[in-house]
């Protein structure tokens, strides 16, 4: 981990503790700060997962959003465990009749975060099971929000941290709803026109009867088998025209392995629209770059528009 990343992470954690400090007794500063850290981190993971274009632009592209999403997951888990270990009920809560249920649901939310984090780190779990379990982040966040606002808490209703967490919770739930809605976004039926195998991968050309949505160099799109509840995977668009798209897919797992070994002309897939953008990091002190191709996701220069 780079020194700059460590400083940013430390500042992010300390900012939450410092923000709640003036509003709670000294004994509650650390648990309250860790609880706020967990809530805001979960809200931000949901916002990043929604892939709002303005957020991707701020982050510098979807790849950086995914990197931040991963680290925010660690903050959410660490904050939840620290809060769970140190917090104790204070006062009667906003609605005393809901205080006990708020405590119980907070425990369930913390346990859910632990299970999800463990699932994300165990590579033996098939991707489709992990992805399905990851969609539980929304319900877990909903339980955490219920806990935050109805448990007995030293934070007064309307105080700055309480208000900020209320706003973060609302935006996070809207983002979760957007992610669920995106699952319903239309895809296009495409047919494999050409499948050229090479050592460890396959070069696919997919065509559609009607014109596809335009794409920009550096974008990626999802591909799924044409059947109900099929698993969709993102791949860099290696080229194409109005009716076709080209993808170069490497055998890197069970899903891609099946595609590489079994795909043939005439097979049907569902193709999503192109998303993301190509954004090289060029700053005042980095006017020239040397690009070295390696791994997956590298687009040929004549297709991407990148010059040697």
Among 129, 154, 182, the domain-final residue is: 182
Residues 111, 130, single domain; the answer is yes
Structural domains in the chain (count): 2
Residues 76, 166, single domain; the answer is yes
Residues 291, 240, single domain; the answer is yes
Please determine, for residue 307, whether its predicted confidence score (pLDDT) is greater than 90: no
Contact 276, 220 (CB under 8 A): yes
Contact 40, 34 (CB under 8 A): no
Query: Residue 109 belongs to what domain range?
Result: 3-182
Residues 178, 71, single domain; the answer is yes
Identify the band that residue 71 occupies on the pLDDT scale cut at 50, 70 and 90: confident
Residues 257, 148, single domain; the answer is no
Range from 63-72, 155-164, 178-187, 252-261 carrying the lowest mean pLDDT: 178-187
Rounded to whole angstroms, how far apart are CA atoms 54 and 22?
A: 33
- Which of the pair, 307 or 173, is modelled with greater confidence? 173
Residues 118, 203, single domain; the answer is no
Among 182, 198, 225, the domain-final residue is: 182
Residues 143, 87, single domain; the answer is yes
pTM for this predicted structure: 0.69
49-84 b/e (C-beta count within 10 Å ≥ 16 → b): bbbeeebbeebebbeebeebbebbbebbbbbbbbbb
Residues 69, 121, single domain; the answer is yes
> What CATH number is attached to the domain comprising 274?
2.40.30.10
The tokens for 289 are 């770059």
Rounded to whole angstroms, how far apart are CA atoms 43 and 166?
A: 11
Q: Kindly report the three-state secondary structure assignment for every residue of 264-293.
A: CCCCEEEECCCECCCCCCCCCCCCCCCCCC
Please determine, for residue 102, whether its predicted confidence score (pLDDT) is greater than 80: yes
Residues 10, 110, single domain; the answer is yes
pLDDT tens column, 27-70: 889 999 999 999 999 999 999 888 787 887 777 766 677 778 88
β-bridge partners, 246: 205, 239
Taking CA atoms, 79 is separated from 30, 118, 133, in Å, by: 10, 16, 21
Backbone φ, ψ for residue 233 (5° rounding): -125, 145
Residues 237, 254, single domain; the answer is yes
Range from 5-14, 131-140, 179-188 carrying the lowest mean pLDDT: 179-188
């Amino acid at each position: 981990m780079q020194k700059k990343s460590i400083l940013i992470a430390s500042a992010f954690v300390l900012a939450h503790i410092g923000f709640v400090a003036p509003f709670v007794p000294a004994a509650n500063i650390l648990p309250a700060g860790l609880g706020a850290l967990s809530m805001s981190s979960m809200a931000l993971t949901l916002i990043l997962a929604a892939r709002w274009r303005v957020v991707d632009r701020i982050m510098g592209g979807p790849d950086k959003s995914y990197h931040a999403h991963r680290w925010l997951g660690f903050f959410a888990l660490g904050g939840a465990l620290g809060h769970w270990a140190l917090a104790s009920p204070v006062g009667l809560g906003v609605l005393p009749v809901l205080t006990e249920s708020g405590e119980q649901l907070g425990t369930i939310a913390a346990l859910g975060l632990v299970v999800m984090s463990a699932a994300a780190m165990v590579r033996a779990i098939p991707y489709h099971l992990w992805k399905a379990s990851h969609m539980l982040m929304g319900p877990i966040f909903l339980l955490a929000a219920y806990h935050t606002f109805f448990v007995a808490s030293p934070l007064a209703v309307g105080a700055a941290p309480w208000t900020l967490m209320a706003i973060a919770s609302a935006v996070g739930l809207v983002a979760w709803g957007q992610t669920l809605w995106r699952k319903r976004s239309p895809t296009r039926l495409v047919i494999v026109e050409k499948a050229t195998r090479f050592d460890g991968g396959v070069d696919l050309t997919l065509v559609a009867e009607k014109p596809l949505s335009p794409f920009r160099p550096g974008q990626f799109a999802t591909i799924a088998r044409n059947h109900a509840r099929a698993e969709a995977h993102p791949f860099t668009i290696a080229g194409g025209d109005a009716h076709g798209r080209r993808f170069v897919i490497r055998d890197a797992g069970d899903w891609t392995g099946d595609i590489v070994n079994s795909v043939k002309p005439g097979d049907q897939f569902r193709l999503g629209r192109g998303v993301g953008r190509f954004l090289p990091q060029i700053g005042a002190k980095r006017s020239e770059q040397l690009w070295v191709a390696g791994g997956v996701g590298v687009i040929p220069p004549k297709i991407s528009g990148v010059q040697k």
